[in-house]
């Protein structure tokens, strides 16, 4: 019998049944920042655990692998001690069977799993819908590289902040103009976006550009709506571009994911003098960021597209390892030998104190966590 703490009340995880009266097969302990892969209807989806919690915490789940989810107090997630730890965070995952036995108590074998099956099923979308998403995905990929951050001001206004580099701002606005033109051609509209530019920051270190639709329900309106959908948060007011790849991109059709990649690459190509090169090779999918979500989502963006990478990690920063990815879509197999492997033996490690940043997920099948699934 396993006892965890939920809202300061002891919860015994045994003899629990699902809404259909059948025994719950698995209980998984995960932590804030973990990404869960599961079946929802006929779709395989990958979403952050906090987004899943907000979606279904008070709902009865029938047509899903997940039966229920709730926050709990568990041992805090330990700090990563290796590159693999820093890219997968599997050492903090605990999977229990229907007898409340920890299935990975002596270490478990985790295998990479399919993140999405969107390309294999019909979603009731038109070719125009996909084409519009491709325009927005490309723009978001380009801005992910170029902007310092983005704030959403209502339904038709956004403020993007750049480092004080005029050439980067100009190239980004040219790309936006081309995206607006593509959108208008697809939708037979004549939308325009007004730009208001100003220097900002205590030391004039940034340039902010306010983007305002010239019409109701225009290009920026659609872009903001898509951002809310891809990040799973309709109340989102700001984006830290270097924090994570939106999970909606991970679940999108391959052609949409490729357009996001194209945006990342074109920023590098348009601003080569500002990018890093090694051995005279420009790694056009080079990325650097801090924290768990960045490390996981950038890997989950590259791997399903069969783009290899070489990752390095600075473990010195407290609880926010700095991760660097070297990758190049012109030579996608360049780092095949450097990628983390498809099957990994993982020893469970816990922190020494209790934390309320954990979740218990009850499910009918073993769930994927951060792109891996425990082998039965």
How is 351-363 classified by DSSP, letter by letter? Answer: EEEEEEEEEEEEE
Q: Which residues pair with 197 in a beta bridge?
A: 209
Average of per-residue pLDDT across 84-98: 95
Q: What is the pLDDT of residue 324?
A: 92
d(CA 68, CA 87): 27
pLDDT > 70? residue 160: yes
CA 319 to centroid of chain Cα atoms = 19
Local structure of 131: helix, strand or coil: helix
d(CA 281, CA 34): 33
Dihedral over Cα of 338, 340, 343, 344: its sign: positive
The residue written with tokens 């779709």 in the block is: 43
Q: What is the pLDDT of residue 1?
A: 42
Q: For residue 316, count other CB atoms closer than 10 A to its CB.
A: 7
Average of per-residue pLDDT across 219-229: 94
Q: What is the pLDDT of residue 61?
A: 82
The residue written with tokens 């357009």 in the block is: 259
Which ranges in the chain belong to alpha helices (H)? 49-56, 83-88, 127-146, 166-187, 219-231, 247-250, 254-270, 292-302
The residue written with tokens 């932590």 in the block is: 31
Local structure of 210: helix, strand or coil: strand
Average of per-residue pLDDT across 167-184: 95
Q: What is the pLDDT of residue 321?
A: 82
Closest CA to 290 of 314, 260, 264, 265: 314
Q: What is the pLDDT of residue 268?
A: 87
What does the block give as tokens for 102?
């920890």
If you ran DSSP here, which 8-state letter would residue 87 be given? H
Q: pLDDT tens digit string along 113-141?
A: 999 999 998 778 889 999 999 999 999 99
What phi and psi, each to the nearest 5 degrees, are found at residue 144?
A: -55, -35
d(CA 306, CA 364): 30
**Maximum C-alpha span of the chain:** 64
| Cα→Cα distances 247→89, 129, 154, Å | 17, 19, 23
pLDDT > 80? residue 335: yes
Q: What is the number of alpha carbons within 13 Å of residue 260 lying toward its C-beta?
A: 24
Work out the pLDDT band at 16, boundaries 50, 70, 90.
Answer: very low
Q: Give the predicted TM-score (pTM) of the model.
A: 0.90
**Average per-residue pLDDT in the chain?**
88
Residue 330 burial class via C-beta count within 10 angstroms: exposed 0-12, middle 13-18, buried 19 and up = exposed
* Rounded (10°) angle between helices 254-270 and 166-187: 150
Q: Which residues pair with 110 in a beta bridge?
A: 344, 374
What does the block give as tokens for 23?
């025994």
Collect all residues with Cβ–Cβ distance below 8 Å to 286 and sequence separation of at least 6. Answer: 268, 275, 276, 324, 325, 326, 327
What does the block give as tokens for 231?
């990040």
What does the block give as tokens for 68?
């229920």
If you ran DSSP here, which 8-state letter would residue 119 be given? G
DSSP string covering 267-299: HHHHTGGGS-EETTEE-TT-EEEESHHHHHHHH
d(CA 1, CA 21): 20
Closest CA to 357 of 16, 43, 77: 77
pLDDT > 60? residue 9: no
d(CA 289, CA 325): 9
């Amino acid at each position: 019998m396993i006892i965890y703490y939920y809202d300061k009340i002891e919860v015994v995880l045994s003899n629990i049944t699902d809404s259909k009266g059948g025994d719950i097969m698995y209980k998984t302990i995960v932590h804030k920042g973990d990404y869960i892969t599961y079946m929802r209807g006929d779709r395989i989806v990958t979403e952050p655990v906090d987004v899943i919690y907000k979606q279904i915490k008070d709902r009865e789940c029938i047509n899903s692998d997940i039966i229920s989810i709730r926050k709990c107090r568990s041992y805090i997630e330990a700090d990563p001690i290796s590159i693999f730890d820093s890219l997968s965070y599997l050492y903090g995952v605990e999977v229990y069977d229907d007898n409340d036995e920890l299935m990975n108590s002596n270490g478990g074998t985790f295998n990479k799993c399919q993140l999405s099956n969107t390309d294999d099923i019909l979603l009731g979308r038109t070719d125009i819908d996909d084409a519009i998403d491709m325009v927005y995905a490309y723009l978001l990929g380009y801005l992910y590289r170029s902007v310092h951050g983005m704030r959403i001001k209502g339904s038709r206004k956004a403020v993007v902040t750049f480092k004080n580099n005029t050439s980067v701002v100009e190239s980004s606005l040219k790309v936006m103009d081309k995206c607006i033109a593509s959108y208008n051609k697809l939708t037979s509209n004549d939308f325009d976006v007004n730009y208001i530019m100003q220097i900002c920051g205590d030391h004039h270190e940034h340039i902010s550009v306010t983007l305002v639709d010239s019409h109701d329900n225009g290009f920026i309106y659609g872009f903001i709506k898509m951002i809310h959908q891809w990040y799973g948060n309709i109340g989102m007011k700001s984006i830290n571009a270097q924090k994570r790849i939106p999970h909606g991109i991970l679940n999108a059709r391959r052609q949409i994911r490729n357009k996001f990649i194209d945006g990342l690459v074109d920023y590098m190509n348009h601003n080569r003098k500002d990018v890093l090169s090694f051995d005279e090779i420009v790694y056009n999918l080079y990325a650097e960021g801090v924290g768990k979500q960045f490390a996981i989502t950038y890997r989950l963006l590259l791997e399903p597209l069969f783009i290899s990478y070489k990752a390095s990690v600075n473990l010195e920063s407290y609880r926010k390892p700095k991760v660097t990815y070297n990758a190049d879509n012109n030579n996608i197999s360049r780092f095949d030998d450097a990628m983390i492997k498809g099957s990994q033996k993982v020893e469970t490690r816990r922190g020494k104190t209790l934390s309320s940043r954990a979740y218990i997920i009850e499910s009918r099948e073993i769930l994927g966590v951060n792109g891996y699934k425990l082998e039965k």
